[in-house]
Amino acid sequence: MSIYDSVILDYYHHPLHKRVIDAPDVTCHVANQSCGDELTVMMRIVRGVVTDCAYQGHLCAVSTASASLLSEKVIGMRVAEVCELDMDIVHELLDVELTPVRLKCALLPLEAIQKSARSFHRVESES
């Protein structure tokens, strides 16, 4: 089955959470130089819980779908829980077989979300 017959194309055409958060508590930019995917993740965090997560950027269909589903997933999660997510969550959410190259695309939003969460976690621990 083509990955483009799955939810991937739906989210590519109708992405979730592809918007701007005004005055986010954390923001993080990542890029995959080899393909040009890049995104900036923004989060609002209240008492250690992610209350909002959004992103902006130029992304392929796979990374758009991943960013959409991951943003939806982490809203309501504790920051510490977000930091502990691994690539299994991406496989679970996308539910398609990806080649190694496209898996990199799918993992980019997870990298951005976790970098944001970790930077917040670090600031909280230091204060």
Partner 1 sequence: MRDVFPALIHDPNLVYFDSASTTLKPQSVVDAMNDYYKVYGVNVHRGQYSQALLTTKKFEDARSRIAAFIHAHSEREVIFTKNATEALNMAASMLFNRNARSIAISPLNHHSHYLPWTQGAKNHGGAIHYLKCDEHGDIHYDEHSLEAMGRVDSVALTYVSNVTGRVQPIGKIVESIRKLYPDTIICVDATQAMAHLPVDVASLGCDMLAFSGHKMYGPTGIGVLWVRQDLLSKLEPVYFGGGMVADLRDGHAIWSDTPYAFEAGTPPIAEAIALHSACDFIDSCGYDAIRASDEHAFETLATIVKSVDPTVHILGEGSPNPSVGILSWYSQKYHPHDMAELLGEKNIAVRAGHHCAIPLHTQMAVPSTVRASVSCVQNATDFSAFEQAYNAAYTKLCPSTIQSF
100 touching partner 1, by CB under 8 A: no
Give the three-state DSSP class for 46.
strand
Select from 54, 62, 67, 108 the one that contacts partner 1 (CB under 8 A): 62
- Count of residues touching partner 1 (by CB under 8 A): 21
Task: Give me the count of residues in the chain.
Answer: 127
SS3 for 71-110 is HHHHCCCEHHHHHHCCHHHHHHHHCCCCCHHHHHHHHHHH
Stretch that binds partner 1, among 19-27, 41-49, 68-76, 98-106 (CB under 8 A): 98-106
Q: Does 33 bind partner 1 (CB under 8 A)?
A: yes
Q: Is residue 105 part of the contact set for partner 1 (CB under 8 A)?
A: yes
Task: Please tell me whether residue 42 binds partner 1 under the rule CB under 8 A.
Answer: no
Identity at 122, one-letter amino acid code: R
Among 97, 78, 106, 125, which residue's Cα sits nearest to residue 1? Answer: 97
Give CA–CA dist 90/98, Å, rounded.
11
* Residue 55 C-beta: closest distance to partner 1, Å: 14
Interface with partner 1 (CB under 8 A), residue from 27, 64, 66, 68? 64
**Where along the sequence are the contacts to partner 1 (CB under 8 A)?**
2-4, 9, 12-13, 33-38, 58-62, 64, 101-102, 105
